Copies of this chain bind each other. A is one copy, B any other.
Amino acid sequence: MTELRTLKVALLGCGNVGAQVARILIDDAENLAPRTGAHLQLTGIAVRNLDTKRDVELPRELFTTDAETLVKDADLVIELMGGIEPARTLILAAIRNGASVVTGNKALLAQDGPTLYEAADKAGVQLSYEAAVAGAIPILRPIRDSLSGDRITRVLGIVNGTTNFILDQMDTTGAQFADALAEAQRLGYAEADPTADVGGLDAAAKAAILASLSFHTRFDLENVHCEGITGVSAADIAAAKDAGFVIKLLAIAEKLTAADGSDGVSVRVHPTLLPREHPLAAVHGAFNAVFVEAENAGELMFYGQGAGGTPTASAVVGDLVSAARRIVLGGPAQVETTNGQVPALPIDAVNTSYYIGLDVADQPGVLAKIAQLFAEHGVSIEIMRQTIHRDADSNVESAELRIVTHRATEAALAATVEAVKGLDVINSVTSVLRVEGV
């Protein structure tokens, strides 16, 4: 066997994912070398605090607090610190030094991706980030390479395990949001401060990355309309279930023609009703999945673990081996094509079906009044269902009205809901949710 060269690998960050990446590089070195055509030598792990307790036992001499020096001497740099700084500065320094970079930092990519892509392009180095979207699931490479001969029309992704776990719990047990969140925190699926997950921001960053690759255009966080799941109630879930739907937090990127005839892409994150037969409806617990629709390929789905140290580490090491092979064998870096230049459309341009829950007075003629109002606003009703409740103590009757519309614009729907609120027979609008996959 010919002597293999050695490539120096610097690891920045040693949290859940970083510690597993280090373990794989050390324990599986013999297996990785022939696949890579080089020995991957982990030269150091930059951390903030040397004394932090890690999940994995790793050689103490690898740890350093001096990330800058570590990066200077590396052929490949793995950035798993998260956050914007110092990750951004260190990645740019690595690129300038001619190192290839593997990162899982979706926040940085969604906020300042173009700066990084351009720097990598200019330096002729590889910048890979499969781990940034849907953890272990190979999704970015298939979109970029396997579908390069096709036209993607729509991407629907369950890309945040925390919110999928919470919604799945609510769907299965009937729990309220707060209780399901507490359960997720107890099991380690949600952080103590769950804002980025339940508010949809984590999914929004991934939506921007998916949209950019799918439509060959650079989208950033500002192009993403984002709604989280904090407003989803047990009653919404029950009503959806009753009507044959499940509620999922989806990252959506789709080609649209706006009302003014202009073509563009809508990138958005919001709780969404999906029919129970849809392949994404069967994605339970903290699992992730990305559903892709393309003109020629038709419907595709990619399913797997979207988080967790070991699964995400698999994606990081996969990127590392590919980038290292390229250093060994030569050849150009794989880059995003951005010739699409499709404009991002505002949420008002979206044309979809809606689910609306109303608490109404139990009087004759209410349905007719509401139906009339929808018609006046050009929103066509597909299903209208009324349920009468009688409070056993007070003996007061109340009525619940659930409406699923045909496709309507966000603007028309918003105007309709506003007008409905003004009716004297309406006690309250209990929920307004978008529907996909019908």
Cα–Cα distance between A142 and B322 once the two chains are bound (Å): 11
A426 to chain B, nearest CB (A): 40
Using CB atoms, name the residue of chain B closest to A304: B300
A259 to chain B, nearest CB (A): 25
Contact indicator A149/B331 (Cβ below 8 Å): no
Contact indicator A318/B35 (Cβ below 8 Å): no
Interface: A414 (CB within 8 A): no
A337 contacts across to B, CB distance below 8 A? 34-35
Interface: A89 (CB within 8 A): no
Contact indicator B146/A138 (Cβ below 8 Å): yes
A126 to chain B, nearest CB (A): 11
Contacts A28-B151, A34-B337, A332-B330; A314 near B296 (Cβ below 8 A) = yes
Contacts A138-B142, A298-B310, A311-B298; A318 near B147 (Cβ below 8 A) = yes
A31 interface neighbour in B151, B297, B311, B317, Cβ under 8 Å: B151
Give chain A's interface residue range (CB within 8 Å of chain B): 35 or more
Contacts A138-B147, A337-B35, A339-B34; A296 near B321 (Cβ below 8 A) = no
Contacts A296-B136, A304-B298, A330-B331; A148 near B310 (Cβ below 8 A) = no
A326 contacts across to B, CB distance below 8 A? 331
A140 to chain B, nearest CB (A): 9
Output the residue of A36, A148, A302 with the most chain B CB within 10 A: A148
Contact indicator B297/A305 (Cβ below 8 Å): yes
Contact indicator B313/A296 (Cβ below 8 Å): yes
Cα–Cα distance between A319 and B142 once the two chains are bound (Å): 11
A332 contacts across to B, CB distance below 8 A? 329-331
Interface residues of A in 289-311 (CB under 8 A from B): 294, 296-305, 308, 310-311
A331 contacts across to B, CB distance below 8 A? 326, 329-332
Output the residue of A20, A318, A319, A320 with the most chain B CB within 10 A: A318
Interface: A274 (CB within 8 A): no
Cα–Cα distance between A311 and B322 once the two chains are bound (Å): 27
Contacts A318-B146, A331-B332; A310 near B282 (Cβ below 8 A) = no
Interface: A32 (CB within 8 A): yes
Contact indicator B304/A24 (Cβ below 8 Å): no
Using CB atoms, name the residue of chain B closest to A130: B146
Output the residue of A304, A311, A320 with the most chain B CB within 10 A: A304
A147 to chain B, nearest CB (A): 6
Q: Can you list 30 A-B pairs with a CB-CB distance of less than 8 A?
A: A24-B149, A24-B296, A28-B149, A28-B151, A32-B149, A34-B337, A35-B216, A35-B337, A35-B339, A136-B297, A138-B147, A142-B142, A147-B318, A148-B317, A148-B322, A149-B320, A150-B314, A150-B317, A150-B318, A296-B311, A297-B304, A298-B310, A298-B311, A299-B304, A299-B305, A300-B304, A300-B305, A301-B304, A302-B302, A330-B330
Interface pairs A-B: 5 shortest CB-CB: A331-B331, A149-B317, A138-B146, A296-B314, A138-B142
